[in-house]
Structure 1
Amino acid sequence: MSVQTLSAKRRAVVEAAAQVFVREGYVGTSVDVIAAEAGVSKQTIYNYYGDKENLFLTVIETMLEPAAARFLEILDQVLAESDELAAGLTRLGREWVELLSHQELAALRRLIVGEATRYPQLLRAWQNAGPGLAQPKLTGHLARLHEEGVLDVPDPARAASQLTSLLVGELQTLSLFGAVPLTTARVEETVSGAVEVFLRAYAVKNPS
């Protein structure tokens, strides 16, 4: 459910909750503070979401949905034309980094990673709402390119994981998961290098 489809009161609660969770951390967040910032009663929040955990899960789903939808749209666009694969993968990398660098999403992700040991269900919710949708889609495209003879990808799922690591893994580490801005030149250098390595590894080998 995207934030646009929520009622005005529910939208106010989710937006306030996102800000408070990021600012105070999951454990440090009080439903009273969220209610005050959203301009609703504490009981209204409990009526809507039951408890703090369900509210946080709603925040994850609501914030990730538009980003995930945008990523899947880009994925379909750039991998539809196999004759421009290098350019398509390069665009995918740029767009992917931009989505992951979105300030609120990056802050939420850092919070979830920090709480993952004590609250693994939060990390699972993040994975299901984001990576859990993206990786199967990417795997499917790579499997199709293998079947069409464009790439030699005997294990599309592994290749999808490797492509993800190449395109965004290093940049996520360098940026401390979005906390430190990266220069355009650094992003371009990393993405271009990632695409070159991936295509070299999975190029169709000419029979000798």
Structure 2
Amino acid sequence: MRRHHGSEYEGRNAVRTPPRGDASTHRAARVRQKITGAARTAFLRDGFDATLDELVAISGVSRPTIYKYYGSKEALFVAVISKALEEVLAEVVSDIPQRLQESDDLRAALKSTARAWAHGMTRPDVLKLHQLVTREVHRFPALGAVWRENGPGRVRHALAVTFQRLATAERLEMPDDDTAITQLLSLTIYPHLLESAHGMKVEDFAVEQLIDSGVDMFLSFYKYRRPVTAT
């Protein structure tokens, strides 16, 4: 089957919704679940190189039926991997915004956030998805957008809200929160992602050292001031 590059698959190859009657609704849902379950298994294992014959063998659903529901292998790949990214990244970042919002101790909040983010982003299932996106993003730019929006984008937004709040309260001297966030992630998170992407593991004690020293350096540079407590 000819592969499409860039966004050629969009539009005419978008996921299709077959006509449904009341009697066929449940059957259609079961068929779609079989297709997506098989596709997730095959695509996570082999990337886009997984063949439709493999999907047919795993799912027990015929090739014409797969095309009926998804239109093309490209559309199926984007739909399945996007959903996997959304589910996995939601687990990783779910409590980060609340942790930052509720804590009045920025130093402690940033360190706990960095630990949770480093742990979540180096989970085997997350690493596998990240490696897959990195490998296929030139053919499917939409996957890169899904990764950014559901993972790094949500964390960056939560950090930006927190930093802006504290800068307004004159507890931080931070003229550019976007640059500051990139610097914080570079000090505390990116080393783990880089090492893990190459099949290496950062030892636990090194993770703690990077996060503790990285947050301290960051807050010192941006002149963080603790809240004034009533006496």
Same fold, judged at TM 0.5 (above): yes
Q: Matched residues in 1 for 2:166 and 2:39: separation?
A: 42
Q: Retained in 2: the 8 A contact 1:139–1:159?
A: no
Give how far 1:202 is off. 1.2
TM-score between the two structures when normalised by the length of structure 1: 0.80
1:164 maps onto 2:185 in alignment: yes
Q: Retained in 2: the 8 A contact 1:139–1:156?
A: yes
Q: Retained in 1: the 8 A contact 2:93–2:117?
A: no
The match for 1:18 among 11, 17, 40 is 40
More helix by share: 1
Q: Matched residues in 2 for 1:126 and 1:109: separation?
A: 8
Q: Retained in 2: the 8 A contact 1:65–1:129?
A: yes
1:127 maps onto 2:152 in alignment: no
Q: Retained in 1: the 8 A contact 2:122–2:192?
A: no
Q: Matched residues in 1 for 2:116 and 2:62: separation?
A: 39
Q: Matched residues in 2 for 1:69 and 1:158: separation?
A: 24
Aligned residues: 197
The match for 2:104 among 68, 83, 90 is 83
Alignment of 1:40-55 (within 5 A): 40-55=61-76
User: Given residue 195 of structure 2, which amino acid in structure 1 is its aligned partner?
Assistant: L
Give how far 1:146 is off. 1.2
What SS does the corresponding residue of 2:173 show, helix, strand or coil?
A: coil
Give how far 1:9 is off. 4.5
1:107 is matched with which residue?
Answer: 128
1:193 maps onto 2:213 in alignment: yes
Query: Unaligned 5+ residue runs, structure 1?
Result: 1-6
TM-score between the two structures when normalised by the length of structure 2: 0.73
Q: Retained in 2: the 8 A contact 1:57–1:125?
A: no
Query: Unaligned 5+ residue runs, structure 2?
Result: 1-28, 226-231
Structure 1 pair 142–44 and aligned structure 2 pair: CA distance change class (3 A): farther
2:60 is matched with which residue?
Answer: 39
Alignment of 1:143-182 (within 5 A): 143-176=164-197, 179-182=199-202
Q: Matched residues in 2 for 1:203 and 1:58: separation?
A: 45
Identity of aligned residues (%): 32
What SS does the corresponding residue of 1:43 show, helix, strand or coil?
A: helix
Give how far 1:123 is off. 2.2
Give how far 1:116 is off. 3.1
Q: Matched residues in 2 for 1:102 and 1:38: separation?
A: 27
Further displaced range: 81-90 or 191-200: 81-90
The match for 1:69 among 90, 98, 111 is 90
1:3 is matched with which residue?
Answer: none
Give how far 1:154 is off. 1.4
User: Given residue 101 of structure 1, which amino acid in structure 2 is its aligned partner?
Assistant: T
